[in-house]
Amino acid sequence: MAAPLLVKTKRALRSLLAERRMESAPRGRPFDVGLVPTMGCLHEGHLSLARRARVENDLVVMSLFVNPTQFGVGEDFDRYPRDLDRDLHLAGDVGVDAVFHPLPGEMYDPGHCTWVDVEGLTDHLCAAGRPGHFRGVATIVTKLFGLCRPERAYFGQKDAQQAFLIRRMAADLDLGVEVVVCPIVRDPDGLAMSSRNVYLTPAERGQAPTLYRALREAEAAIEAGERDAGVVTATVLSVLAEAPLGRVDYVEVVTAEDLQPVDVILGEVVVAVAVRFGATRLIDNVMVKA
């Protein structure tokens, strides 16, 4: 497929979208824009979102932006993997029309002082260990929604808390964007794809599929009738102990509806884990119906 248009400024993005919407107006039918926000270093997980966006929209915009405001002090902002040429190629292969790749200074004016905070999600899952992270995510996604005015935006279930928060934010602020959450794409050995997997040493990579193995054990236990979240958590921890290079950040069982921790499993839940291998933090989750 054709290479996507590379757009580096907000102004160019706005005019491209205005032009395309105007061109389609005489046809008298809706013109739908699908947005796929990413930090680049694309893998099959990102591409699955873009493929879905391609099917459901007239124009697909993918953003490639390593957003500085969602990284904490000492996190991997500087060394986050970046490979624009490869990303453009892959995005073109799945039919992305335009890639928005701004510099940080283009997105954040020196006087920037407006932030989007989604309350009530600050004390568990990834929010506990990454203060300020979701504020950065919610702010950049709001800005991207404002720039692209998409009909739909695509996120991965891999980042379950992020997807939940964006959906909540879009509803609370009447942003008029349908938030589409797509399934987790995995390597053949079960490891959830992530741009950060490239950081893993061969030994760490060998142990990393333990996360998914542990989650599958949790899933099997719940499906077999276990309703005590403490027991399920202990099961996950016992499997994770088989990966001695990993340090567990959290194991939580939360409701699928609002991601609140539960003691007793009823209805649909998400079992979520975060494990550090050296400086690399991996996350994964499964949704299970009791």
Both structure tokens of 113: 């002082």
Window 16-45: contact mask with ligand AMP (x via CB under 6 A): ----------------------xx-----x
Lookup result for tokens 């009909």: 151
Min. distance of Cβ 34 from ligand AMP in angstroms?
13
Nearest residue to 273 (alpha-carbon basis) of 172, 184, 189, 202: 184
Minimum distance between the CB of residue 227 and ligand AMP, rounded to whole angstroms?
A: 29
Active-site residue, selected from the candidate residues 43, 46, 112, 124: 46
162 or 207, CB closer to ligand AMP?
Answer: 162
Contact window for ligand AMP (CB under 6 A) among 46-54, 101-109, 170-178, 263-271: 46-54
* Cβ proximity of 58 and 32 under 8 Å: yes
**Could you tell me if 37 and 141 are in contact, meaning their C-beta atoms sit under 8 angstroms apart?**
yes
CB of 28 to ligand AMP, least distance (A): 33
Give whichever of 195 and 235 is closer to ligand AMP, judged by the CB atom. Answer: 195
Which residue, 37 or 246, has its beta carbon nearer to ligand AMP? 37
**Backbone region of residue 132 per phi and psi (left: phi > 0; alpha: psi in -120 to 50; beta: other values):** left
Non-local (6+) Cβ contacts of 267 within 8 A are 255, 256, 257, 289, 290
Residues 125-184 that bind ligand AMP (CB under 6 A): 155-156, 158-159, 182, 184
Q: Is 71 an interacting residue with respect to ligand AMP (CB under 6 A)? A: no
Whether 89 is a known active-site residue: answer no
Q: What are 276's two structure tokens?
A: 């550090």
Q: Which is nearer to ligand AMP, 160 or 251 (CB)?
A: 160
Cα-Cα end-to-end distance for the chain: 43
107 versus 185: smaller Cβ distance to ligand AMP: 185
Separation CA 281–CA 197 (nearest Å) = 9
Q: Does 49 bind ligand AMP (CB under 6 A)?
A: yes
| Element spanning 275, H or E | strand 268-277
Q: How many residues bind ligand AMP (CB under 6 A)?
A: 17
* Closest listed residue to residue 99, CA positions, set 8, 2, 194: 8
- Which residue is it, tokens 């991997």? 76
Enumerate the active-site residues. 46
Q: Which residues bind ligand AMP (CB under 6 A)?
A: 38-39, 45-46, 48-49, 155-156, 158-159, 182, 184-185, 192-195
